[in-house]
Amino acid sequence: MKEWYDAIKTAQSVEKLEEIRIGIFGKKGVLAKEFAKMKTAPNEEKAGIAKELNIYKSDLMSLLSECKMNLQTQELSRAMKAEAIDVSLYSQQSSRGALHPVNETMDKIVDYFISMNFTVQTGPMVEDDFHNFEALNLPKYHPARDMQDTFYFKDEMLLRTHTSPVQIRTMLHTTPPIRMIAPGSVFRRDYDLTHTPMFHQVEGLLVDKEGTVSFANLKYILEDFLKYMFGEVAVRFRPSFFPFTEPSAEVDISCIFCKGDGCRVCSKTGWLEVLGCGIVDSNVFDAVGYKDVSGYAFGLGVERFAMLIHHIGDLRSLFEGDIRLLEQMK
């Protein structure tokens, strides 16, 4: 029996120990054989042999379980060592994200007008004819309603072609004074170097008592805003036409690339057109039931600003999701 003690003590694995256990305690194991021998032993010796064998049995059992525990602990710690992850290792440099140029530009525009006490208003992208056209003094058959430009649904519903309908919605549910901007996506059937079917605008509207809002107020805030966006630029107002404003103007800044000398970007004019504006047409106030008020409005394309600020030549590249463009924004 002695050799079994050694076998248990020198076993190198739990598996090996199990083999030994079967060798000792199994049905055909050594103990079974020893007990079997008792049958043929003289009667008076049987009790002595049984006692001795039982002592062996319990000794071996406890030795076995002790060794098994030791081996299990060793095996566990070996496995833990092998599978350990060294968290102190430097990981590969993870790359930081960047704001999309359109978002960054939008944020900057919104920040400016918030600092000037304007509130931010939103409206639906699926609009109806009344808010997108009619109330903005764009009557039926006005050329700006051309099927070429507008995505129409059934029943006079459409994808808004500008953020101006948010003016109407805001005026319909609030009373003046109003100082609001409406940033958001707009949609037109257009696709080339400077047009995409979806782009972003910021609309602005200020309404107060009759006779308190002048073109000079509009001129002041837009000049200040454009200098905030583009640095020291010259700003000029050119007479223009929009159905919802009268008088209306388009606003240019001196070309930020050639400083006004004339280059490819400004088509040799020295000027870049950046927004449209004007004094709110009385027909618009009539459409929302406002009386004895005056106001100004303006609208701008965010992509146009972003392209100028970041010197991006093709508007479509803003929407292609090319990671190299975003990487330059870090």
Residues that bind ligand DAH (CB under 6 A): 162, 164, 203, 242, 244-245, 276-278, 297-299
Q: In three state form, how does the secondary structure of the chain look?
A: CHHHHHHHHHCCCHHHHHHHHHHHHCCCCHHHHHHHHHCCCCHHHHHHHHHHHHHHHHHHHHHHHHHHHHHHHHHHHHHHHHHCCCCCCCCCCCCCCCCCHHHHHHHHHHHHHHHCCCEECCCCCEEEHHHHCHHHCCCCCCHHHCCCCCCECCCCEEECCCCCHHHHHHHHHCCCCEEEEEEEEEECCCCECCECCEEEEEEEEEEEECCCCCHHHHHHHHHHHHHHHHCCCCEEEEEEEECCEEEEEEEEEECCCCCCCCCCCCCCCCEEEEEEEEEECHHHHHHHCCCCEEEEEEEEEHHHHHHHHHCCCCHHHHHCCCHHHHHCCC
| Shorter beta-carbon distance to ligand DAH: residue 106 or 277 | 277
Q: How far is the CB of 289 from ligand DAH (least distance, A)?
A: 19
Query: Closest by alpha carbon to 26, among 64, 66, 52?
Result: 64
Output the six-digit token pair for 243.
């159905």
The distance of closest approach from Cβ of residue 274 to ligand DAH in the complex, given in angstroms and rounded to an integer, is 11
Q: Say how far apart CA 315 and CA 199 lie, in whole Å.
A: 9
Q: State the nearest-atom distance from the C-beta of 171 to ligand DAH, in Å.
A: 12
Task: Pick between residue 23 and residue 247 the one whose CB is nearest to ligand DAH.
Answer: 247
Q: What is the CA radius of gyration of the chain?
A: 42
Query: Which is nearer to ligand DAH, 21 or 304 (by Cβ)?
Result: 304
The residue of the chain with the least Cβ separation from ligand DAH equals: 299
Return the number of the residue (64 or 279) whose C-beta is nearest ligand DAH.
279
Closest distance of CB 261 from ligand DAH, Å: 28
Contact 219, 248 (CB under 8 A): no
CB of 190 to ligand DAH, least distance (A): 12
CB of 155 to ligand DAH, least distance (A): 23
Distance in Å, CB of 103 to ligand DAH, minimum: 20
Residue 203 or 252: which CB sits closer to ligand DAH? 203
Instruction: Collect all residues with Cβ–Cβ distance below 8 Å to 259 and sequence separation of at least 6.
Output: none
Closer to ligand DAH by Cβ: residue 34 or 250: 250
Closer CB to ligand DAH, residue 184 or residue 278?
A: 278
Q: In angstroms, give the least distance from the CB of 276 to ligand DAH.
A: 3
Nearer to ligand DAH by Cβ, of 60 and 277: the residue is 277
Q: Between residues 235 and 297, which has the closer beta carbon with respect to ligand DAH?
A: 297
Smallest CA-to-CA distance from 147 within 159, 165, 135 is with 159
Least distance to ligand DAH from the beta carbon of 162, Å?
A: 3
